[in-house]
Chains A and B, each alone.
Chain A
Amino acid sequence: MLTCDQYHMPTTLPEALALWRAAPEGSRLVAGATDILPWAREGRAGHVHLPAMIDLSRIGELSGYAIADGRVRLGANVVYQQFLTDDTLRAHLPCMPFCSIWFADDQIREQATLAGNVVNASPAADGTPPVLALNGDIEIAGLDGDTVVRRSLAVADFLKGPGKTDLRPGEIVTALTCDSLEGYGGSFQKVGQRRSLVISSVCAVACIKTDPAGEVFEDVRLALGGIGPVPVRLTDIEDMLKGQRITRELIAEASSIPVTRVASRTRQDYRRTVVRGFVEAAIDDALADTGAPVPVPREREKSHV
């Protein structure tokens, strides 16, 4: 059971920052709360008592999104369901609808935020590989005296390890900024123990742009989660594919490389097997999302001989 002395619901960022700075040690920030409540149960953290919980979901400044200069700025309160239901976000972030559909279920997606998922810094977070593939930056606010000060850094630099980030005491994440990849095809692969509502064992994301004829990889973005302490971007494979003609053999060759990246503490063999298939499927599905035909399994098997 989760109990707390104070539950705050600030409506402005300065108010939230002041509460957070003044909060006793052990207090927690809350966005969707979909992770903290299951955490405070038997078998995980057990009964937890917090001095204060500061709920950020009513801060207007953290809501909504804006698109400018090829970047999409997602307020920290943007929830997963928006990536499914908002046509503009679907067009600009083509991998996110697929990530979203695999993330929990419709009900939890209405509450859970992408920013919260990234900040939790789980090695298996579904939302982090897409954000890496989208060259995501994270925006952070803190207080200097009574002045709100802001900084921004790449999500790749923000994540330090399982549960570890660059967030400093008193700071609050306000937004994620991602590349707009309108015109790309997107995909997301995930394996877990249940179709709905399960933590990833391994997940993979791809965003691909082809030439108008659909014959050449113009741009490729690939990232993997669940294979080590933090999700990783596969830039070497991206470089290998960019500018090349799209062939089954090339995709098969590229997908066998990331097997060596698996550095998880558990089930390494299983993850290696999954990773190869996942990178290949991620590329295939992202291509299909651009309108390319879907290869049949036998074609794939042949190209691995």
Chain B
Amino acid sequence: MSDIDLELQVNNRNVRRRAQSHQRLLDFLRDDLNLTGTKEGCGAGECGTCSVFVDGKLVKSCLMPVAKAQGTTIETIEGLAGEGMSGAGDLTPVQKAFHKTGASQCGYCIPGMVMAATSALRENPAADIEEIKERLGGNICRCTGYSKIFEAVEIARDVISGKIAATALDADGAGSSYIGNNVRRLDAPSKVSGRLRYAGDMVMPGMLHMQVLRSPHAHAAITSIDTSEAAALPGVACVITAADVPGEDGFGVFVHDQPIMARDKIRYVGEAMAAVAADDPPTAIKALSLIKVAYEDLPAVFDPEEAMQPGATVVHDYAPDNVVKHIPVRKGDVEAGFADADLIVEQTYETQQVEHAYLEPEAGLAYVDHDDVVTVVSPSQNITHHRHMLAKIIDRPINKVRFIMSPVGGGFGGKEDMIYQGMLALATMKTGQPVRLVFTREESIISTAKRHPARITYKMGLKNNGRITAVAFRMISDGGAYGLSTEGVMRKAAILSCGPYDIPNVQIDTYGIYTNNTPSGAFRTFGAMQAQFATESHLDICAEKLGLDPFEIRRINMMGDGAVTHTQQTLGSVSIGQVLDAAEQSSGWEAGAPRMRGPERSDLGGDGTRPPCTLGARFRTSGKPGRQEVA
């Protein structure tokens, strides 16, 4: 691969460097200039975490071969604040406004958002909110939410134009209490300036780069892995497989059923089988192609109900029935409850697998320190548990294992699983060098846990007046190939299955089942979302059948202060009544049974609603009316 002699200006400094022809501008800024405020969230131009100015125009640096930067003037997030290539100066009004409004949660998308906001206001200092939204359309956020970001851009616009005083950027007074007051985040300046370093931004001298060989099969026995050719490739420091694990291999949030790399057999597409640590990523990638794996295909099972049948393919020998966890809950007498009902409604609800899609793909850096402490830096959401598991896996005393939690660029439960930290620990132990692994977006999607897909059979008995007499709730969840958080998710789903409703007779069964799909794990709500989708949909259907308003059927059945749940918890205060009142009022709900009234409804398409998928805010200056001009 050829080199390119680059001369360009970056953040007001003249730069002359030799770059490699395969680098993207993103790689050059991050790896060669150590300007890591520019992030990589997808590498495919979809997310905007890598936005930088090139000759005054905002572009996505992951889509720009570095050669295109020859002779250009580049401005990165670090350069906005001026004074020095790495941003030693004061924050700009845009950055201060992001700080003010709390427009930084995980912060990973924020440098790109600040760049897009800066570009929007440079292109049109008077941009209105619809144009701002449109100009920020190439940047994705997952946890901050867009409202605070848009609010920040509008404040910055008005301060820059002089419409409002610069004091609007100052902190609101916290008064005598932080509660009920707008308090700025302590870590926001580090995020809006790009100074905060996530695990993938960290470097150490002599650091190796890891790449992982992943399974192309859903279920197969590994008959042999030959790593000799990969290990012999110049630049490769080590190749590791399950055979290198010195201790008791296995991790998971509840059951420790997952080896850090596939042991003897693979159970899902994307499972790690081997890993390479090399001087640079291209060498590690090349080495992966030299690893020879021989497989023996096994029948695979992809449907949890099929996996529950006698004689089904067994995913884990320890669980011949493929059940990860069954949580049964019983209260009262459901048969008597159904017998007492005027109406019995039975439906099946399905929810799908969902990816967390945090903007920061998994990344970690591991090293063995001067006291032989194996240290793993990663955005783990569960470092103490990880530390204890890793100590067993690598057979070291607990005081020789350390986990450091790096800033989490979005987790939502998806970073609770120790799916790569073990490989990093093994590789640094084997080489004595620091080792870093940064997932690609594709790797993150294919290999990490998802929200449990669920199939819920709901049977509800009701009196004609809307009172529920009994519920039978059966939820079959696809746990995927490994246990991870499935047990907890099933427990939570069982606890929250019937929602905030006072039901005298319940029979609840939640099942987490092994299959050869991508493992399911923790995801915001931890099983409640699936259960609530079924419960609330079911109540709407029952309301329709009984001719009741959906709010009414909920008020008839809602718990009150002092209610006892089906898991025998006494609730001191219950707020569902207030929640229903607020929802009814703010939605402009038109009372009545939810029959299909379509265009007759007056509470659809009115004030406060927005037509879907409209673009063209900046065309409105033409003064001509037209649908395209409604943003």
Residues of A bordering B, CB below 8 Å: 1-7, 9, 30, 32-34, 37-38, 41-43, 47, 53, 55, 57, 81, 84, 97-98, 101-102, 104-108, 110-111, 187, 191, 195-197, 281, 284-285, 288-289, 291, 293-294
Contact = CB atoms under 8 A, between A and B. Distances in A.
Contact of A38 (B63, B281, B443): B63
Interface string B51-66: 1000001111011110
A248 B618 CA distance: 29
Given A37-B62, A38-B44, A294-B625, A9 B70 contact: yes
B59 A55 contact: no
Ranked 9 nearest A-B pairs via Cβ = A105-B138, A196-B137, A288-B626, A3-B22, A38-B44, A42-B442, A7-B21, A110-B57, A34-B63
Contacts of B282: 1, 3
Contacts of A102: 615
A293 B625 contact: yes
A96 to B, nearest CB: 12
B431 interface: no
Contacts of A294: 625-627
Nearest to B614: A195
Contact of B1 (A4, A30, A33, A37): A4
B624 interface: yes
B326 to A, nearest CB: 36
Given A101-B134, A111-B59, A289-B626, 15 more contacts: A3-B1, A3-B22, A4-B1, A4-B22, A5-B21, A7-B65, A30-B65, A33-B68, A38-B45, A81-B57, A84-B618, A105-B48, A107-B51, A107-B60, A196-B138
A55 B282 CA distance: 22
B290 interface: no
Contacts of A5: 1-2, 21
Interface in B259-291: 281-282, 285
B624 A289 contact: yes
Contacts of B616: 98, 101
A288 B625 contact: yes
A106 B43 contact: no
Contact of A195 (B2, B45, B48, B137): B137
B602 to A, nearest CB: 15
Contacts of A197: 45-46, 137-138
Interface in B582-631: 613, 615-616, 618-619, 624-628
A155 to B, nearest CB: 25
Interface in B115-169: 116, 119, 123, 134-135, 137-138
B357 interface: no
B24 interface: yes
B440 interface: yes
B44 A41 contact: yes
B246 to A, nearest CB: 31
Which of A7, A97, A289 has the most CB atoms of chain B within a 10 A radius of its CB? A7
Nearest to B55: A110
B4 interface: yes
A285 B626 contact: yes
A16 B625 CA distance: 46
Contacts of B43: 37-38, 41
B367 to A, nearest CB: 25
A1 B625 contact: no
A121 to B, nearest CB: 20
22 contacts: A1-B285, A30-B65, A33-B63, A33-B65, A37-B63, A38-B43, A38-B45, A42-B443, A55-B65, A57-B68, A98-B628, A104-B138, A105-B48, A106-B119, A108-B59, A110-B57, A111-B60, A111-B64, A195-B615, A196-B138, A197-B46, A289-B628
A105 B137 CA distance: 6
Contacts of A84: 618
Contacts of B183: none
User: How extensive is the interface on chain B, given as a class?
Assistant: 35 or more
B67 interface: yes
A1 B619 contact: no
Contacts of A2: 22
A192 to B, nearest CB: 9
Contacts of B285: 1, 47
A110 B625 contact: no
A41 B619 CA distance: 36
Contacts of B57: 81, 110
B191 to A, nearest CB: 21
B138 A285 contact: no
Contacts of B440: 41-42
B85 to A, nearest CB: 22
Contacts of B60: 34, 107-108, 111
Contacts of A41: 43-44, 440, 442
Which of A42, A84, A105 has the most CB atoms of chain B within a 10 A radius of its CB? A105
Nearest to B630: A294
Interface in B59-81: 59-60, 62-65, 67-68, 70
A250 to B, nearest CB: 19
A47 to B, nearest CB: 6
A55 B64 CA distance: 11
Given A4-B22, A5-B1, A30-B65, A110 B627 contact: no
Nearest to A3: B22
A55 B68 CA distance: 8
Nearest to B52: A107
A1 B442 CA distance: 12
A3 B60 CA distance: 19
Contacts of B67: 7, 9, 55
B628 A106 contact: no
A97 B57 CA distance: 18
Nearest to A47: B285
Given A42-B440, A107-B51, A37 B65 contact: yes
Given A3-B1, A30-B65, A37-B62, A108 B138 contact: yes
A93 to B, nearest CB: 14
B63 A108 contact: yes
Contacts of B442: 41-43
A201 B62 CA distance: 25
B99 to A, nearest CB: 24
Contacts of A3: 1, 21-22, 282
A284 B43 CA distance: 38
